[in-house]
Structure 1
């Protein structure tokens, strides 16, 4: 029965490419140039490239682990390697991480929409509308979610197209010169900050068993997705670096939105508002991804999946209702960045090492 369900809800490698991209690109795009340049300054674009290289390394580590259990979901892999009890504890840790990250994405999205588009609308109403749409799509099967992500990718292409028009605005290449002036230490610190905006690639851990013919071609797919995300972020950061001075970037929290305000056409006076209206969809896909991952980290039973999605959606909604000042939001972001290290780096690497040491693989018995 499980094999039939897996085939029914499976995705192609083509769809995997878009799912990974949509899981990574979202609300973090707007503040990325501001966050990275705090340490890397004009070399922020180098930090993005290094962060992309780090993501590629981690994706390869994930793939080595997953290939040892090609038909098992990640919640089963942890139990096979660590034992049933410890495995369930790790799964709950992943669940907590996904809920918190999904909540943070919702909070940041609601604050942005409230500030830029709907200043009079109550935050709880914006959050309710967003999460209702997210729950509605997430309770469907993975194949439908993947198809929606493929369609939503067109809006990322739209952003790239709009960004090209900013090249008509005054630019100053001197803002990024001399290259490497920030020093290796600051560039690496900036790279670490950039990695937080690039999270979402850990979705591979939970998607691998659903990929059709996952025995070949997956490395190429995830590498191309990572190259696209890295190139996309590098381009956006580079445009912002040559458009604003370092002092200006320190003061502007969302430089990309501010940059679009400088664009004006005969038919469109506020390009930034038009762009934000469209970008709600890519921001929503990130929340959908974390809703799906949180639900899959607790159970692989399809009977309880829809119920868990609804419960998780309500939980994220309740968390988003907590009053969030800038200080609380920054503190929330800081603690979630600590969770990132455990979920993205430590646990997958340890699982791979333990699976090799104790020779655990799909045909092995649970410890």
Structure 2
């Protein structure tokens, strides 16, 4: 039974989606997009935002048909018990693998920049224990934490203003559209993967308080905010680094801050990264919650499932994975995202509308 006590407000939903989407991907996106879209990478991110908005519209229409069911329940209603269970298993693996990939990238970044002598398993254990501790709480508690964590985005934007004192070259992005439509679309695909997290609404929709109105506006505003933030930092990096530099620099946003120096403060990049640990952790918390909620139906078993999923994500993160294997895991997550985030919801909506039409014609 979903009550006001266990549900979240639309205000909290906004920050839940933002914190699910923004994390480690923001730091490396300019480098990732550079290989295809080059100077038009910021356009690719806007295109990705438009695709996300179209997907959110599909989710909204789907939940108009099933207002009190979540993703896993809808698959069973439409496809039946057995196919529904198979699809839910795919959805579960997607959430687990995405959470594991986020954790691997997170600990690698911390190990490279902040704590090079600390074993990766120690970093992973600390992060996953903190994530489990928060995830076993109610969704309302998680959402409240995400609201507080979002204030660190203000720090990120504030610090970015100081980078305008560094040399900038608009020539790097000119002429606009020079990369071609094909490369911009390919770049938008890479931006889309970095912006994943919005699919969380598929699981938490039934827990939104007063969801009859305003939900589409809230998720759309969250998508607009994330798209604007990603596009802004992509644009900032594109005019700050030459194309060759962007290819070589893995986390351009951190290198942007590294160039800043003040009389009383130095290594702004390390100060920023220390605070950015929180938004990177929220992505893992979100995927740990989503994987557990898509698997567990009963509140009593939820805590046990969270702990089990936390152990699975931890074990995957400490496997001896080199950079090539991380790239391979990223490909698997990308392919799974096409199925779980885009394909299945479209099929569910199409079939639900067909069944509704057949039911109406049968009544006549």
Pick the TM interval, shorter chain.
over 0.9
The structure 1 segments of at least 4 consecutive aligned residues displaced by more than 6 Å after TM superposition are: none
- Correspondence 1:37 to 2:34: yes
Partner Cα separation in structure 1 for residue 78 and residue 161 of structure 2: 49
- Within 2, Cα distance between the matches of 1:3 and 1:18? 20
Aligned to 1:365: none
Alignment counterpart, residue 137 of structure 2, candidates 136, 140, 143? 140
**Are 1:16 and 1:146, in contact at CA under 8 Å, matched by a contact in 2?**
yes
Task: Tell me the alpha carbon deviations over residues 340-363 of structure 1, each in whole angstroms, 9 at most, x when there is no partner.
Answer: 110111101001011111129xxx
The match for 1:316 is 313
CA distance in 2, matches of 1:9, 1:168: 47
Q: Show structure 1 runs of 5+ residues with no match.
A: 361-367
Cα root mean square deviation, aligned = 1.1
- Structure 2 regions of 5+ residues with no counterpart? 358-364
2:107 is matched with which residue? 110
Give the secondary-structure state (helix, strand or coil) at the position aligned to 2:196.
coil
Contact 2:2–2:207 under 8 Å retained in 1: no
- The answer to whether the 8 Å contact 2:172/2:242 transfers is yes
Aligned residues: 358
> For residues 92-171 of structure 1, what are the structure 2 equivalents within 5 Å?
92-171=89-168
Aligned to 1:340: 337
Deviates more, 1:78-87 or 1:100-109: 78-87
Deviations 1:11-39 (A, max 9, x none): 00000000000000011111100111111
Aligned to 2:272: 275
TM-score by length of 2: 0.97
Q: Could you tell me how far apart the structure 2 residues matched to 1:130 and 1:88 are?
A: 31
Distance 2:321 2:170 in 1: 38
Q: How far did 1:321 drift?
A: 1.3
Distance in 2 (CA, whole Å) between partners of 1:3 and 1:133 is 26
Find the aligned partners of 1:72 and 1:44 in 2 and give their Cα distance.
38
Q: Following the alignment from structure 1 to structure 2, what is the Cα–Cα distance between the partners of residues 79 and 137?
A: 29
Q: TM-score, normalised by structure 1?
A: 0.96
Kept in 2, the 8 Å contact 1:138–1:291? The answer is yes
1:194, CA displacement in angstroms? Answer: 0.5
